[in-house]
Amino acid sequence: MPVAVNLAFSGDQHEHLKAFLFPGDNKEAVALLLCGRRDGDRRHRLTVREIHEIPYEYCLKRTTTLVTWSPDYIDGFLERAASEGLSVIKVHSHPNGYAAFSKTDDDGDRRLLPMIRGWVEADAIHGSAVMLPDGQMFGRVLRGKEFEPIDCISVAGDDLHFWYANMGKGAVPSFAASHAQAFADGTIERLQRLSVAIIGASGTGSPTVEQFMRLGVGEIVNVDPDVMEDRNVNRILNSTMTDAEQGHAKVDVLADAVKRVGLGTRIIPIKKNLWDPEVVRAVAQCDIVFGCMDSIDGRYLLNAISTFYNIPYFDIGIRLVAGDKGRIREVCGTVNYLRPGRSSLMSRGLFTMQDVAAAGLARNDSDAHDRQVKDGYIRGVQGRRPAVISVNMFGSSLAVNEFLARLHPFREEPNSEHAAVTFSLASMELISEPEEGICPILSRSVGRGDQVPFLGLMELAERRRA
């Protein structure tokens, strides 16, 4: 059975497309999307890479219910798609708000999509989509001779949008009835259909898994290479000293707990380092990414995955500084929300690419890293920080509520004002900072999808088997 197809936009791409498709003249307009891909085993993700508008004046006819244009105009775009193996999605508007494909749409797609498939030739999926005046979208792809619905069209903007085929068909489970009172049935259904990657299974990862499981999220992909130690039991929910004594994998401990609770969440535990091509493949198929780790190179990699695959990324950072004689100097943390194509953890000043390189060296060659620290080439290296479950759970809860505020906006201010939320329990403050700037390093990679090597990083190059 073919896997479901998702189409993923960045927030800026969706806003740009909406402005073009609805110029205010109440007539249909049309554009072509060139998309990268993540050909997954769980879902096939199309990532919008470029938007090519067909100018209004180049259209042969534009009315409230029809738009036609000369196929000759798109030859150059199809050549690009063919040379790079990209998927092509035609998008047009329905200014009258008709929320289905019309007979005219059917006839046009039966002519256009086979022509695109024959031109591009690569093993790529092509399709069409419709945007309504409020920005909502639905679509379909051509498989064989038949149309199949795009399962989900997502937008990773200040607000998070997930438009599913056949929305409203599922019942709210009994355990989620109180959630539905706060967030409405549509939000509950979206949670049930989401796939959330949680990278880390310890301090903040454990309570994040717990919350999403009890919110009724459909699928969790949990990544962590480590096994339990006795020092972990004080902050990993549902863990025991027996788990530590027997060296159980952290992800397996959390997965067993999720299965025991039995609320319907599917959990995929992956006991591997994030810097593994197999892990990148799994994470890149998800709808949301939560970073629950403190390694600099890992956080950089998640930021890159988010950008290449148009996935919203929530990064949780906790800082607890203990002074002499048990005195606590600071208890704080920050939840950074990263939109593909906007600012990054680097442009926000959390670390530099030199820090990323140093962290990579420490992971791959600890002796060389130690020599460079001793010789003064690497500065600012810190030892293990203290961890307290109450602080970790506070930061995790803040991050999950940040996600919910974007899935179902409820704040008095727009979500753009809360790109980074910092808490300090020492000064009892909660401070929000707005989205500002664009990352010069990652912004050119929005929606690129699968590359060889993954993310353009040689460390993720896969060695051919003899």
Distance of CA 88 to CAs 40, 74, 273, Å? 18, 11, 34
Q: What is the structure's pLDDT at 380?
A: 46
Residue 369, pLDDT > 50, answer: no
Q: What is the pTM of this model?
A: 0.93
- Strand pairing partners for 220? 196, 267
Q: What is the structure's pLDDT at 359?
A: 87
What structural domains and CATH numbers belong to the chain? Answer: 4-156 (3.40.140.10), 174-460 (3.40.50.720)
The whole-chain average pLDDT of the chain stands at 90
Q: What is the structure's pLDDT at 170?
A: 60
Q: What is the structure's pLDDT at 180?
A: 56
Q: 171 versus 211: which is more confidently predicted?
A: 211
Q: What is the structure's pLDDT at 195?
A: 98
Q: Which of 94-108, 195-209, 385-399 has the lowest mean pLDDT?
A: 385-399
**What region, left, alpha or beta, does residue 310 occupy, with left being phi > 0 and alpha being psi -120 to 50 degrees?**
left
Distance, C-alpha 250 to centroid of its chain:
23
Q: How far apart are CA 290 and CA 201, in angstroms?
A: 11
Half-sphere exposure of 107 (CA within 13 A, CB side): 6
Collapsing DSSP to helix, strand or coil, 16 comes out as helix
Per-residue buried b or exposed e for 93-123, using 16+ beta carbons within 10 Å of the residue's own CB: bbbeeeeebeeebeebbeebbeebeebbeee
Tokens of residue 284, six digits: 């890149």
What are the tens digits of pLDDT across the range 15-45?
999 999 999 999 999 999 999 999 999 999 9
Q: What is the structure's pLDDT at 374?
A: 46
Q: What is the structure's pLDDT at 224?
A: 97
Q: How far apart are CA 96 and CA 66, in angstroms?
A: 11
Residue pair 197/288 in contact (Cβ under 8 Å)? The answer is yes
Residue 281, pLDDT > 70, answer: yes
Q: Give percent of the chain above pLDDT 90.
A: 77
Mean pLDDT value of segment 329-345: 94
Closest CA to 295 of 385, 403, 392: 385
Residue 393, pLDDT > 70, answer: yes
What are the tens digits of pLDDT across the range 39-65?
999 999 999 999 999 999 999 999 999
Residue length of the chain: 466
Residue for token digits 């006819």?
61
Collapsing DSSP to helix, strand or coil, 301 comes out as helix
Q: 315 versus 120: which is more confidently predicted?
A: 315
Instruction: Locate the DSSP E strands across 206-364.
Output: 219-223, 266-270, 288-291, 313-322, 328-338
Q: Give percent of the chain above pLDDT 70.
A: 89
Residue 376, pLDDT > 70, answer: no
Residue pair 292/200 in contact (Cβ under 8 Å)? The answer is yes
pLDDT band at 319 (very low <50, low <70, confident <90, very high): confident
Q: Pseudo-torsion of CA 450, 200, 441, 288, nearest 10°? A: 60
What are the tens digits of pLDDT across the range 409-437?
999 999 999 999 999 998 999 999 999 89
Q: How far apart are CA 48 and CA 16, in angstroms?
A: 12
